[in-house]
Amino acid sequence: MATQHSLGSPVYHPNTLPGLAYEEKRQLHRFRNILTEKLAQPFGSHFWNSLVLQLSQSEPAVLHAALALTSAHERFVQDQGRLDFSSVAPSGLFSLRQYNQAIRALISNTSLETTLSLRIAIVSCVLFVCLEILRGDMNAMQTHFAAGIKLLHQLQHQGQRLPAPKSIILVTDNPEAFDDHLVEVFARLNMQFLMLGQVPESKETFSPAFQYGGHVHIPRQFCSAGQARQSANPILLSTIHFIMGMEQLALTTDVHPLLPSPKMLDKRGALQSDLSEWITGYESSVNPYLASIPWNEIVGLTTLRVYAEMSTILLDTCFSTKETAYDPHLPKFKWIIERYREFHKSLETQHCKGQPYFTIDPSFFPPLYFTALKCRDWSTRHQALSFLREYHHMEGPWTGAMLAIVAGHVISQEEKHFEGALQSSAPTSNPQIPPSTRPSIVLPEFTRIHCVECKLPDRRAQESYIASLTLRRFRHELGKAGGWEVSKCSIDLTSQPQAAVFGV
């Protein structure tokens, strides 16, 4: 195994660093001992556990960006996850001052010609993206994200050593060098954006290296949670990019069904094969391994398995614009919900109420959001909604409640003429009603929404958070050339789901 690249000497206690005021030392201590540990969960992260810590000791831009982020996160925790982004409070003013100092430090380093200067700027961009998410400024978040991947492109393609197109940033299967970890943290952030619909404006693309000739090595049995994650990462990333490409292709034509090319079929087949191989390795490893690992790693492994199940549904349905294609996958949707139910039971066993937390990794939300939107079984999709509402943490710019409002509106639009019948056909605990006698209601295709796009506002207001919602469905009832029906509305993401929409 290659040696991890280091940038400097060991990290010293903040009190040993000269020139820092008391509040700066306090926030630096929190960053090094609390926030980086939280951001590295559940599998650990060399980026958060090592690289940022090294640079925060020697580079003013990274130091002040870290202080700004930590102060904003402390306020987020103190407010119990309530999103309030005013800069008037002392903590807000401190964060803003540190932010400005970080920007000034970067501006003073304008060359960006050396590898070190590029690394400093890229790490700062990650911290700025996190900070702007907590501050609720989506424009600034997108700006920092785009700047970061532009710098990554410059860093990775220095000397034109890589056999990939210039517009591609390659993600290695097993990051070992410093720059690999920089790419990985951006790639995972990009994957979270894609999964939850907050598509980055930048045209750059993160792609696993195996797409350019190699095959993902998937062990027959995983030796660690980290190995399971690293094997899953390129498959999940490739699946999301493939699904997004098919979705964009479908939305550009008014004639359906699409006829996939041999190349598309080959790509899907390869992804399905890799995914099946990963699931086999997981199942052969997980039972003997779970007893010996920490609880948070168990949660992480279970989450990976849920993502794999979601990916099997996505790949199986990706060539169809008919939403009824998801109906045969009801057992998989129910399996996903059962894993979340087990997770909640384990939370109670572990007595883990805990503080609200924040992550830029794909975590609990995407599979629940996907289930709420695509599973038309009344009981299962409403259980997914219920779970989303229970989560008070943030995954990227989203809370569970925000996603529940979006999904709840979509569900209400689909079910508004059938809700009574759907509820009556849902499972009941009444033993006097045998399952075989319950009416089976299938939501008609013409009521189902195919594509949901939610654009968050540029900046969060104090009293409301108004997002733009675009819903698309293909008019199959008009035949193969039925075309797309598009509806748009505004939705308040601070409201209760039933009162969310106020304008069309």
Domain ranges of the chain: 1-214
Name the average pLDDT for the chain: 81
C-alpha angle with apex 339: 223 to 444, nearest 5 degrees? 130
pLDDT of residue 170: 62
| DSSP secondary structure of 277-319 | HHHHHHHHHHHHHHTTS-HHHHHHHHHHHHHHHHHHHHHHHTT
Mean pLDDT, residues 49-76 taken together: 92
pLDDT of residue 210: 43
pLDDT of residue 10: 43
- CA gap 96, 85 in Å, rounded: 11
Q: Which tokens is 218 given?
A: 């998937």
pLDDT band at 500 (very low <50, low <70, confident <90, very high): very low
pLDDT of residue 91: 64
**List of residues 6+ apart from 12 with CB closer than 8 A:** 57
Give the rounded percent of residues in the chain with a pLDDT score beyond 70: 78
pLDDT of residue 101: 95
Per the model's pLDDT, the better-predicted residue between 41 and 370 turns out to be: 370
Q: Is residue 473 within a helix (H) or strand (E), and if so which, with residue range? A: strand 466-474
pLDDT of residue 222: 83
C-alpha angle with apex 202: 196 to 204, nearest 5 degrees? 100
What backbone phi and psi angles, to 5 degrees, belong to 455? -95, 115
CA atoms within 13 A on the CB side of 295: 11
pLDDT band at 8 (very low <50, low <70, confident <90, very high): very low
For the cut 80, the answer to whether the pLDDT of residue 208 exceeds it is no
**List of residues 6+ apart from 479 with CB closer than 8 A:** none
Q: Supply the pTM of this predicted model.
A: 0.86
Q: Which among 209, 220, 165 has a CA at the least distance from the CA of 183?
A: 209
For residue 33, the tally of other CB atoms under 10 A from its CB is: 11
Of 135-144, 293-302, 392-401, 427-436, minimum mean pLDDT range: 427-436
DSSP 8-state symbol, 191: H
